[in-house]
Structure 1
Amino acid sequence: MNEATQTLPDNIAELQKLVLDLQVKVNWYEEQFRLSQHKRFGVSSEKGAVHPDLFNEAETFADDHAESDAAVQETITYTRKKPGRKALPADLPRKIDRHELPESEQICDCGHALHVVGEASSEQLEIIPAQVYVIEHVQVKYACRGCEEGFKTAPKPAQPIPKSFATPGLLAYIIISKFLDSLPLYRQEAIFKRYNIELSRATMSNWVLTIAELLKPYYDRLKHHLITQTFIQADETTLTVVQDGRENGTKSYMWLYQSGEHRPLYPVVLYDYQSTRAGYHAKTFLSGFKGYLQTDGFPGYHLMESDALVVLLGCMAHARRKFDDALKALPKESRKKSGKVQLALSLIAKLYAVESEIKDLTVEQRYLVRQQKSKPVLNQLKAWCDQSVTQVTKDSRLGMAIHYVINQWKYLTRYLQDGALQIDNNTVEQRIKPFVIGRKNWLVNQTPRGANASALLYSLVQTAKANNLEPFAYLKYLLTELPKLGRHYQAEQLDQFLPWNLVEKIQPLDKVA
């Protein structure tokens, strides 16, 4: 036997290993391609935690004995929405237009007079465009006839921007248009031109920056009340600030912190601009906070655990999203037979079914139901992940999802410790979405000052919504009342203007007529 023949088995083994490695790489690239295609052309909504194939859960897992042992057949019911147009709100003001036949037509073909036998009613929705008018302040002057030296002038109401023609209502309108309706200032400039008003974007930009400075103490007071709470949720997203002293295109970050409790007594939503994603930004912002902090698993938040005053929570929605990505990365013909992915999604769906069941219960009741129903499902999910982690490649989408759950397990299960805690971070993601939508419209911020102003004003708008206050009325009230305090006042004086103290003074968001 020659030397070439002796080395043949080793060469075959090496080639087989190479083929296996290449096949793993090909599978990975195919997953990335299918997932990319789905993100670009597929449905992006994550509404509903149950995949359609899970309605036949037992049949789906019949081909995989390991998964079928864990699967439990369920009956899932739902109420189908009835088609048709919704009725117009009953509290909207109504103008009645009565339509009657002229007297000449109130004659029947037989020659007799017609008489009223009933009425038919239908409704249409009308709208009146914004009304713009000028407020002229006439200050009456008084003089003394006796000494001929005494002289007084009636003062004007305190204004948010002294010597400016901008009223609290106009300023609130501009802020709401940009930071709630995502209308850039250049579009607002064009809208004002239709009313024959020359109002440049530069002027409006200066107004926005000035108002942000006026409201900074109020923002700080909201932050004070947020830090004193026991459960906060956090998230962050990117933005570009052009003139921040770094290279153009360098990413900055908008951080978001909000009250996380189930039905919080004092809802607060705060944005915070920072130039990087370093974890010390969160540690600095939340200095003095003691309690639970729920995040998406970003390692930067782990700095918060260093002083043992903060307990981190994970986000089950992120775990589910990774399994959902693993399902989308499979070929279409394989998705219905993908027992492993389907089982994970099924177990997570059961956890969310429990959350739906307890959403209207008290904190104590939520805790007890979770211990009874959620904890066994979590134990089942953990056992399945521990069993499956050796059966999939780490770099595959399913492998990444399983490793995420195992690595984040202690954070994902901590919501069981208190009924006030949430299973996921979805609400804070919903709060950060308005900024993401606005970012698509104006793309960048020019300066850090502008980014900080945006953070503050987004905070006030979203805090108003969190407290069920109509944002325009809320901002107009603040810009009318805060200037009356003058330049020097105690921070505690701002408490009377905090949103939960204005419920009786400002129209609720769900009652807007």
Structure 2
Amino acid sequence: MNLDAEIAPFKLNEHAEQWLAARCAHWQNETDKIQAELRLAQLKIQALTLELAHHKRLRFGHKSEALTSEQRSLFEETWETDLGEIQAQVTEHLLPSSRTPRQSAGRQALPEHLPRIEHRHEPESCDCAQCGQALVKISEDVSEQLDVEPARFFVHRHIRPQYACRACETMSAAPVPAAIIDGGLASPGLLTWITASKYLDHLPLYRLEAIAERQGVHLARSSLAQWIGQTGAALQPLAERLAELLRERAVLHADETPVAQLDPGKGKTKRAYLWAYRSNDLDTGPPIAVFDYQLSRSGSHAQTFLQGWQGDLVVDDFKGYKALFSKGIAEVGCMAHARRKFFDLYAANQSPLAQQALEMIGELYEIEKRARASPGECEALRRKETIPKLQTYHQWLLETRVTVADNSALARAIDYSLRRWQALSRFAHSANLPIDNNAIENIIRPIAVGRKNWLFIGSERAGRRAAAIQSLFATAKLNGLDPAAWLKDTLEKLPAWPHRRIDELLPLPPPL
């Protein structure tokens, strides 16, 4: 058999061979290019994955007390933003075939009370694109997106027809609706927006002025300031009544936080203080929080605010409260402050003794968690488990103290607890005393965050006004009320409301 004759029909001519060789070279180049891009994408994904893991460790692995609450809040926002960007970049570098559709099953449902605007997306034709037959609806795929509408300004027109009697020539008209600001331009809704933006969202007035200007509404900063002052004056009686109701409680929390006040005579700021007082969550009755603005940290301010009050006061070791405890007020210590001394020591050098103290304090908090879950058994649980644990912990503190050097960090941490032991352990002998002062620190936290925006308070009067409004807003939030909605309703009612029924306007749930 002649082999050349057999394969002759399958041989390509010279031009075809050249074309085929060129195409093979082209596809080889394309393949090499795709492989290079794939390797680059894989390296990029690997780098982003490592960075993502690092950010997740920062976001979810940090110790609860490694940063202050304000720092942690700001850093968490940055971490969340970085995580979102990195995840988007990883998705961008994945090949289409390897991308997995995002699952929305685990996404938090949008609130039911929000209004829904439906957008129906029907196919262009009701006939099948393949065979031409009529389509039949079998189900619906529904997805939701959250939207927001910026502050929308509108005008209320109050029209009061004037009527006259032809017989006696008497004029009649409906009375002018009562308002917080008589004859003023601002409605209760606008006053609410300004007040909530300033004291809840901590936006300076010049930013509110700019927001309104973008919508073609000129609100002079001087007018905004004047409205805030008039609103604060109208709300002052409510804040004072709230303080009266707070002093009727048997157990209170107290703390203070510094704020800067403008000192025009010297062209700089001086330090003032917001003193915070709060009811105890283990007591009956709705929670109440009250702020008291003062120009110093003198303990006389706490004595003035609590004048005539008797009960248990939960505080830290600040000496300004000490004079109160010789006037019939019992001191309750804060175990969280005592724990923080050991936590700082453990975070600094991994001290095994500090770790041991943290573990014993942790056992006390574990008992408290169970006690909170069963309020009726709180006193019995504390008597059965908490008191023995405290006795063991106290003995450990005494024995450990003699083994450590004076003036060392561990000695100072132990001395803090031993010096305040009576106050720290008082909670265990009652069902209505808290283990720590964290409740008041949670109330102060928004003030600390707000300081970064408004920087300073303009005057003592402005500070007292801020304290009154913050007291009402904080109490509303503690009772599950929307502060802005409560304020709008209150400003609408307040002008014509009888003073003897002022309790009905307070941001508290109605009595059962």
TM-score of the alignment, normalized to the shorter chain, above 0.5: yes
Provide the rounded CA distance (Å) in 1 between the counterparts of 2:446 and 2:372.
Answer: 25
Instruction: Identify the residue that residue 315 of structure 1 maps to in structure 2.
Output: 334
Shift of the 446–295 alpha-carbon distance from structure 1 to 2, 3 Å rule, reads same
Shift of 1:375: 1.2
Provide the rounded CA distance (Å) in 2 between the counterparts of 1:502 and 1:191.
Answer: 36
Instruction: Identify the residue that residue 348 of structure 2 maps to in structure 1.
Output: 329
User: CA deviation digits over 1:131-154, x for unaligned, max 9?
Assistant: 210111122223221222x22332
Instruction: Identify the residue that residue 217 of structure 2 maps to in structure 1.
Output: 197
Residue 255 (structure 1) aligned to one of 275, 278, 291? 275
Residue range with higher mean Cα deviation, 136-145 or 231-240: 136-145
| Residue 182 of structure 1 pairs with residue 202 of structure 2 | yes
Provide the rounded CA distance (Å) in 1 between the counterparts of 2:382 and 2:251.
Answer: 18
Shift of 1:378: 1.1
Provide the rounded CA distance (Å) in 2 between the counterparts of 1:204 and 1:214.
Answer: 15
Q: Output aligned runs, 1:283-362, within 5 Å.
A: 283-308=303-328, 310-330=329-349, 335=350, 338-362=351-375
| Residue 138 of structure 1 pairs with residue 159 of structure 2 | yes
Shift of the 437–185 alpha-carbon distance from structure 1 to 2, 3 Å rule, reads same
Q: What is the letter of the counterpart of residue 103 of structure 1?
A: S
Provide the rounded CA distance (Å) in 2 between the counterparts of 1:303 and 1:195.
Answer: 55
Q: Normalising by structure 2, what TM-score?
A: 0.77
Q: Normalising by structure 1, what TM-score?
A: 0.76
Instruction: Identify the residue that residue 123 of structure 1 maps to in structure 2.
Output: 144
Residue 371 (structure 1) aligned to one of 383, 391, 402? 383
Q: Is residue 317–residue 424 contact of structure 1 (8 Å, CA) maintained in 2?
A: yes
Shift of the 243–206 alpha-carbon distance from structure 1 to 2, 3 Å rule, reads farther
Residue 504 (structure 2) aligned to one of 490, 496, 513? 496
Instruction: Identify the residue that residue 229 of structure 2 maps to in structure 1.
Output: 209
Shift of 1:439: 1.1
Shift of the 228–369 alpha-carbon distance from structure 1 to 2, 3 Å rule, reads same
Residue range with higher mean Cα deviation, 122-131 or 271-280: 122-131
Shift of 1:287: 1.4
SS at match of 1:453: helix
Q: Is residue 243–residue 448 contact of structure 1 (8 Å, CA) maintained in 2?
A: no
Instruction: Identify the residue that residue 483 of structure 1 maps to in structure 2.
Output: 495
Shift of 1:129: 2.6
SS at match of 1:103: coil
Q: Is residue 197–residue 203 contact of structure 2 (8 Å, CA) maintained in 1?
A: yes
Shift of the 216–44 alpha-carbon distance from structure 1 to 2, 3 Å rule, reads closer
Provide the rounded CA distance (Å) in 1 between the counterparts of 2:503 and 2:109.
Answer: 39
Residue range with higher mean Cα deviation, 395-404 or 232-241: 395-404
Instruction: Identify the residue that residue 468 of structure 1 maps to in structure 2.
Output: 480
Larger helix percent: 2
User: How many residues matched?
Assistant: 417
Q: What is the letter of the counterpart of residue 506 of structure 2?
A: L
SS at match of 1:402: helix
Q: What is the letter of the counterpart of residue 100 of structure 1?
A: E
Q: Is residue 244–residue 448 contact of structure 1 (8 Å, CA) maintained in 2?
A: no
Q: Output aligned runs, 1:43-442, within 5 Å.
A: 43-44=67-68, 84-103=106-125, 106-148=127-169, 150-243=170-263, 248-262=268-282, 264-308=284-328, 310-330=329-349, 335=350, 338-362=351-375, 364-442=376-454
Shift of 1:382: 0.9
Shift of the 245–220 alpha-carbon distance from structure 1 to 2, 3 Å rule, reads farther
Q: What is the letter of the counterpart of residue 117 of structure 2?
A: K
Alignment RMSD (CA, Å) = 2.5
Q: What is the letter of the counterpart of residue 341 of structure 2?
A: K
Provide the rounded CA distance (Å) in 2 between the counterparts of 1:95 and 1:503.
Answer: 37
Provide the rounded CA distance (Å) in 2 between the counterparts of 1:144 and 1:257.
Answer: 59
Q: Is residue 291–residue 470 contact of structure 2 (8 Å, CA) maintained in 1?
A: yes
Provide the rounded CA distance (Å) in 1 between the counterparts of 2:158 and 2:143.
Answer: 45
Shift of the 133–319 alpha-carbon distance from structure 1 to 2, 3 Å rule, reads same
Provide the rounded CA distance (Å) in 2 between the counterparts of 1:94 and 1:188.
Answer: 28
Shift of the 266–44 alpha-carbon distance from structure 1 to 2, 3 Å rule, reads closer
Identity of matched residues, %: 38
Shift of the 222–111 alpha-carbon distance from structure 1 to 2, 3 Å rule, reads closer
SS at match of 1:242: strand
Shift of the 244–397 alpha-carbon distance from structure 1 to 2, 3 Å rule, reads farther
Residue range with higher mean Cα deviation, 445-454 or 82-91: 82-91
Q: What is the letter of the counterpart of residue 345 of structure 1?
A: L
Higher relative contact order (CA 8 A, sep 6+): 1
Q: Is residue 313–residue 330 contact of structure 2 (8 Å, CA) maintained in 1?
A: yes
Residue range with higher mean Cα deviation, 351-360 or 124-133: 124-133
Task: Could you tell me which runs of 5 or more consecutive residues in structure 2 were left unpaired when the two chains were aligned.
Answer: 1-61, 71-103
Residue 460 (structure 2) aligned to one of 445, 448, 463? 448
Shift of the 286–484 alpha-carbon distance from structure 1 to 2, 3 Å rule, reads same
Q: Is residue 231–residue 261 contact of structure 1 (8 Å, CA) maintained in 2?
A: no
